[in-house]
Structure 1
């Protein structure tokens, strides 16, 4: 059986959307769905001479069991006969999900939540996992078009190459088309290769356009040979990258991007484009790091 699909559960509406999405992903792969809830030790101090537990947390087990039962019921309503497993642990939620990603085919989280996974600013869980996860990370957000294409962002980076491969596999699983988007502009770092500095370079726009088209074609061709029946649209867009991808995602089923693409600062684990998509995309986003198991 394939590696399981893992989903972070905290009972919030966003995490329940993630459970439904994760169930569909597990069903497509023929994999087990692993529902994971993590919480830390109670933060209050025990009273001297009192019982060795926190009374404020007396109903915690019932609360967690109810949350997991609702999540598991939703998973089975979404995909009947799906094989599921529960995991409730004490520990930092981010560290727990990162550990779970080592043996998962996909980790799925909501874009916002509450409690164990939700006491964090919008996107914190997603950003952390996208930067450190050992497998692809899906953040469920927006309103995906069920009939829409899978949309990979092409940038020529190692993480971008992994994203393209994952996108082709996902489109094949879904039986849908693929729209590969490569955004470029005259301030691309590719325009400055060579001894001249940016202020001394006269940009040949048509030449640059040809180079970017060649990058797009060379990235996609090997994957199209592996998936000859897949309908693929190559979309070269002269635009800033973030708004181009956000807009393209309006009609997509899924948007796939590398964690840090071409031109990123080497000290950053997650690029600004990936972070922007996690916060603003109109459909679910999958992020892959360079070296991540696709």
Structure 2
């Protein structure tokens, strides 16, 4: 059986909206939807003298069942023909969803959830999963333009190749156009490569622009060949990366970015551009990790 779409459910309005988005994604992929609710005692300590989890004694079974029933109703309304499964498990939500990601095609979460940190713009679950999940993570946020394109953040890195493939697949499944946006500036790390081009020389901006155009073209070309039915706009913009991508997300129905790009510290699993999009994009954001050996 094909790997399902997994969605984290905690009863919040954000997670229930994520269920609807996840159901549509499952329908587009022709796979099942798995509703996951992770339950743990405060500080992960079981009650004295009792089992790790006894929902009947705790009086929460009805609450959990009610949450999942509502989630399933939302899912079936959004995508009537998909297969829906429920899973209630004991554990810290971050760990549970990370484990679920090992056998999922996509994990979907809301940008805010229930808990002590509800005032944060972005829940810790979403940030953690984007950095550590074994499959793409879709964080539902903002107000997407349903008629807008899929926006792909192009950085030209080897680690970003899977993000390119994911973006093309999403655009194809949604019947949407794809905007491949590559943002550069005159002092990019990619200005010149080789010992003959030290950083303190005067940059030939036109030469740099041509080089960045080449990066954009070469990054998009393989996926464009494999999915000729996707209409692609290659957009090269000279600006600051994060503000340009956030602004472009206003007209998009989805933004796709790699977990890490060029110039990041090797120990960081989630780059600054991805984090900025997760916090400030105007539409849902999909973060796609590269291979284990990619940098």
The separation in 1 between residues aligned to 2:55 and 2:107, in whole angstroms, is 34
Structure 1 residue 2: Cα displacement = 2.4
- For 1:173-211, what per-residue CA distance to the aligned partner results, in whole angstroms no more than 9, with x for missing partners? 11111000000001100125333543x221100000000
The separation in 1 between residues aligned to 2:108 and 2:117, in whole angstroms, is 12
Structure 1 residue 121: Cα displacement = 7.2
Structure 1 residue 150: Cα displacement = 0.7
Structure 1 residue 19: Cα displacement = 0.3
Aligned to 2:207: 207
Aligned to 2:226: 226
Gaps of 5+ in 2: none
Q: State the SS of the aligned residue for 1:191.
A: coil
The separation in 2 between residues aligned to 1:134 and 1:110, in whole angstroms, is 18
The separation in 2 between residues aligned to 1:153 and 1:45, in whole angstroms, is 45
Q: 1:216 to 1:46 in 2, by over 3 A?
A: closer
How is 1:165-184 mapped onto 2 (pairs within 5 angstroms)? 165-184=165-184
Aligned to 1:94: 94
Q: 1:114 to 1:56 in 2, by over 3 A?
A: farther
Structure 1 length as normaliser, TM-score? 0.92
Total equivalences in the alignment: 289
Structure 2 length as normaliser, TM-score? 0.92
- For 1:103-128, what per-residue CA distance to the aligned partner results, in whole angstroms no more than 9, with x for missing partners? 10000000001049969872311111
- For 1:196-229, what per-residue CA distance to the aligned partner results, in whole angstroms no more than 9, with x for missing partners? 543x221100000000000000111111111112
How is 1:26-65 mapped onto 2 (pairs within 5 angstroms)? 26-43=26-43, 46=47, 58-65=58-65
Aligned to 1:290: 290
- Contact residue 122 and residue 278 of structure 2 kept, 8 A: no
- For 1:129-163, what per-residue CA distance to the aligned partner results, in whole angstroms no more than 9, with x for missing partners? 11110000000000111111111111111232111
The separation in 1 between residues aligned to 2:277 and 2:42, in whole angstroms, is 34
Q: 1:83 to 1:117 in 2, by over 3 A?
A: farther
- Contact residue 40 and residue 91 of structure 1 kept, 8 A: yes
Q: State the SS of the aligned residue for 2:191.
A: helix
Q: 1:122 to 1:56 in 2, by over 3 A?
A: farther
The separation in 1 between residues aligned to 2:290 and 2:185, in whole angstroms, is 24
The separation in 1 between residues aligned to 2:10 and 2:259, in whole angstroms, is 25
The separation in 2 between residues aligned to 1:152 and 1:55, in whole angstroms, is 44
- Contact residue 149 and residue 252 of structure 2 kept, 8 A: yes
Aligned to 1:258: 258
Aligned to 2:19: 19
Question: In the alignment, does 2:85 pair up with 1:82?
Answer: no
- Contact residue 154 and residue 161 of structure 1 kept, 8 A: no
Structure 1 residue 56: Cα displacement = 11
Q: 1:56 to 1:4 in 2, by over 3 A?
A: closer
- Contact residue 259 and residue 289 of structure 1 kept, 8 A: yes
- Contact residue 42 and residue 54 of structure 1 kept, 8 A: no
The separation in 1 between residues aligned to 2:220 and 2:123, in whole angstroms, is 30
- Contact residue 117 and residue 125 of structure 1 kept, 8 A: no
- Contact residue 93 and residue 117 of structure 1 kept, 8 A: no
